[in-house]
Amino acid sequence: MIHRGRDVPRRWRDQGNLPAAILGSDWGRRVVVAAASALALGAVAGSYAYAIEPRRLQVVRYRLGIAGLPHALNGVRIAHLTDFHVGMEGTRRSTLRRAVDRVCREGVDLAALTGDFTHEGVWNPDADLFRPLTKVCPTFAVLGNHDHLANEVATQGIVHRLRDQGVQVLRNQHADVPVRQGTGRILIVAVDDPRLGYDNLGRAMAGTPPTAEQDRPAILLGHVPDIVEQAPPGRFALTLAGHTHGGQLRFSPLKRFTPLEVPMIVGDLDSHYPRGTHVVRGNPLFVNNGLGVSGVPFRFMAPPQVAVFTLVPGVDEEKDIDDPERYFFEEK
């Protein structure tokens, strides 16, 4: 029903010009202003998500508490980068270079790269990024689902090009890594991409103790966060993963997965662990936002991310065993 107050001109009412009557009324003008404002806000948000946030590199730092951590490992620093997606429209190579440079300047003892180096499963020369990093610290990598998109020959090509840069690529393998001039050791357990079924955690752990070792904390690397659900309870001091891009276009303010994660669901990036810190059966997990983009060249509320962890002895005993705050202490 059209409002017939004095705010609607008589000639529009008399001529039955309903659209004009609507637009000529006070509430009609308010609707137009609201619609125009919404369009303008959408345009600003879209411009921000395309031009600004994909370049807004975020560095997050945590102290990671480990019960019984040996003195030789106190203060050891580990960096995590993931989801580079070189070749995808919207992935900024400048952002990738800045991320690698930032890690090089952080003074870390170890770096972990958790997959999706290229977007289409074929090596892209722009992914030749990691030589500066491998010169300053041991650098380990696992593959992601995009690294398997072409064929096994192309995947092997990605592995070889990474190894040419000094990156140690592990495919369902583990490595005993000396740190601090050999005074301490860390166990790296790494699985190939779980998203497409290339993972085999049993094979990766073969020959390692089934329970946690106090003198050699273990770190699990996997592209998809849900790999942590396969881990023996309390076996790993830290699990590092990516794949989700933190939602990439994030509509939920929550850290856990919700139905608001529409872009993740549509883009087949869904996980029980979309972003940030979690603990699963006593295994601390960190899910990195990643650096590149996939599907669409936008990021919103999920900036590209570098993560750095400093190992410290002890946990917060007052927190529950599956409470992230028992292990992760964010540095502001």
Most distant pair of Cα atoms in the chain: their distance: 92
C-beta contacts of 179-182 below 8 A and 24+ residues apart = 179/73, 179/76, 179/109, 179/110, 179/138, 180/72, 180/73, 180/76, 180/109
Q: Domain residue spans in the chain?
A: 1-55, 57-331
C-beta contacts of 23-29 below 8 A and 24+ residues apart = 27/3
| DSSP type of residue 232 | P
pLDDT at 17: 57
Contact 204, 174 (CB under 8 A): yes
Other C-beta atoms within 10 Å of 135: how many? 11
Four-CA torsion 112, 113, 115, 116, nearest 10 degrees: 160
Mean pLDDT, consecutive 10-residue segments, the chain of 332 residues?
Answer: 49 53 60 56 65 93 97 98 95 96 97 96 95 98 96 97 98 97 96 96 97 95 97 98 90 68 61 92 97 91 96 96 96 84
Secondary structure of residue 36 in the 3-state scheme: helix
Integer Cα distance of 9 and 11 in angstroms: 6
pLDDT at 27: 60
Domain 57-331, CATH = 3.60.21.10
Four-CA torsion 115, 121, 122, 126, nearest 10 degrees: -40
The amino acid at 273: Y
CA atoms within 13 A on the CB side of 85: 24
pLDDT at 250: 78
Other C-beta atoms within 10 Å of 99: how many? 23
- Report the run of H or E that residue 220 belongs to, with start and end: strand 218-221
Integer Cα distance of 187 and 307 in angstroms: 19
- Indicate the pTM of the whole model: 0.86
